Structure 1
Amino acid sequence: MAGKIRLTKSEREIMDVLWEKREALTSSEIIKSSINKSWKDTSIHLLLRVLLKKNIIEVAGLKKTTRNYARTFKATMSQYDYFFQEDFQTMDLDRKIQFMKIIIENASLEELEVINSILCKLYS
């Protein structure tokens, strides 16, 4: 990803819906799936336009609605990638270590072997 992407609270709420649903959604479907949203339904098109400009979503196609067709949108960045570029990078070292410790303590033996393999490749 070229530059760091910053999302407002409203933009993040829309992205959380797209990440959770893991499929392309119309603006109406996003509104219906947005519980406790901080934005008004009438703002959806403005918010989607901003997310398109930030290249964090893209138009995935069209979907037939009751009387016409609506564009569908999907995320171009995974929730994990966003977390690591936004949240993880701003953590101090102690919080990062605590976070990684929790991951390691809850990982299966197979997952730990994959982690070990990655570390060996990076630092050999």
Structure 2
Amino acid sequence: MSNRTTTRRVWCAPITNKIFYGSICNETGKVVGVKKDITGDALRAVAEHLFNQPRVLTFVLNSGQILSVKSCVTDSEMPDNSVENAAHDLLHAMQRMVIQFCVAGIESKEKSLNPMEEALYQAEQAIAKATGANG
């Protein structure tokens, strides 16, 4: 009999992109026993959660990239062209741009004579304001 402990958890398999529920060995990180594919149920539960409370969810991925998921509930015949939705799209684009600036080695500097450094500073300030991260 093994003394290893397990934890029940949910995870997404990177190769199949399926969401599973099962036991994981705390010491090895490997699946123990049977895992259950809950992809459909998990996505439906998230969709219902977002339907009941529309908002933007933001996650920092292991790669350092930012994933933003927005929910918007509209009538089926209404186009998705509200200012709020456009603002979210602009925020997402700005977050991606900041990451690319940083990867390129550009430093953020307020009132810099280098327009890229100043633009990066302004982008970071706008993101902080939009996400409530500035206080």
TM-score range, shorter chain: under 0.3
**Which protein has the bigger helix share?**
1
Which structure has the larger Rg over C-alpha atoms? 2
